[in-house]
Amino acid sequence: MALVLAKRCNAAAGHHKSARRVGLSAPMALLRPLQRTKAICGETRLALNADRPTASQIITMKKHYLTGIFDTDLKTFDVQVIQASHGNPVLVDFWADWCAPCIAIAPVLEKVIPSYNGKIMLARLEVDEGDNMKLAGHHKVRGFPTIMLFQNGEETARFSGSRPAPAIHHFIEQHTGLTPD
């Protein structure tokens, strides 16, 4: 699916509408449900189908995409993590709201990931929501938090427990070769 950008401009002869399709890279799969329309020379609005996320969900997705941090679940894991990891490495934080080390590592990860300027992404998966525990079982997660690194569609490394920022930077550099900007 491609974003369809439509532009309406006032012209001397009246209104005209032009549209062009824009291809998406793998990490942009997060924004696939979005259709952006430019109306009347620059006013932007979002056009959504009924089966698509709400506007506030899309705004949250865009915000997280820009920082490299987003929430995922059983339904979106394949696209948002596995497929997206073919473009950039993706860390997945398996966490639970009752888990003190999970709460401790969250702000550390939220500080570390943006320092890579989009070269690595962070997907947060709350295991107690819906059927997300099935993913934890599938990936043999035994404790929380567990941070898994996916590259080229496969898990390449993991660690469990809370760690300080320098240890997370070292983990990322060791397994991806990436350094913060």
Please check whether residue 22 lies inside any domain of the structure: yes
pLDDT digits (tens, 9 = 90+) for 96-145: 999 999 999 999 999 999 999 999 999 999 999 999 999 999 999 999 99
- How many Å apart are CA 105 and CA 170, to the nearest integer? 15
Return the active site residues. 99, 102
Residue 26 has pLDDT above 80, yes or no: no
Residue 18 has pLDDT above 60, yes or no: no
- How many Å apart are CA 88 and CA 110, to the nearest integer? 17
Residue 27 has pLDDT above 60, yes or no: no
Same domain, 22 and 84: no
Can you give the pTM of this predicted structure?
0.66
Domains identified in the chain, total number: 2
The domain spanning residue 78 has which CATH number? 3.40.30.10
Task: Tell me if 146 sits within 8 A of 163, measured CB to CB.
Answer: no
pLDDT digits (tens, 9 = 90+) for 79-88: 999 999 999 9
pLDDT of amino acid 86: 95
Please check whether residue 171 lies inside any domain of the structure: yes
Same domain, 10 and 75: no
Structural domain span for residue 20: 3-53
Q: At residue 32, what is the residue type? A: R
Residue 57 has pLDDT above 90, yes or no: no
